[in-house]
Amino acid sequence: MAMLTLTGAHITCWHWAAARLMSAIDAVREVVSADTAPDAEVADAVLYYSFDVEQAVTWLLDQHGRAAVRLTLVRCYEQQF
């Protein structure tokens, strides 16, 4: 039976990747609300597009329709008044 051992370099790499993923998800969430796309789908898009936030946002908006974004903007506008 083979054992997996992680060195300090491997652990640091995992922390870096997790931090990069969370940063990209936060950037996508500034544009795409949780009402529009679930967290798992946002994470999948970010990973698929290799942390490219712009491509992930474009794909998510295409998948869920631009109407969802307009609805989010309307809700924000209504909350102001």
81 in a structural domain: yes
Does residue 71 belong to any structural domain of this protein?
A: yes
pTM: 0.67
CB 33, CB 51: distance < 8 Å: no
Is residue 48 assigned to a domain?
Answer: yes
- Does the residue 47 lie in any domain? yes
Give the helix ranges, DSSP H, for 1-81: 8-29, 39-48, 53-64, 66-80
Domain hosting 56: range is 38-81
How far apart CA 30 and CA 33 sit, in angstroms, is 7
Q: Do the domain assignments include residue 33? A: no
pLDDT in 10s for each residue of the chain, 81 residues: 455 555 666 667 778 888 999 999 999 999 888 888 999 999 999 999 999 999 999 999 999 876 665 666 566 667 665
- Is position 65 within any domain? yes
- Provide the number of structural domains found in the chain: 1
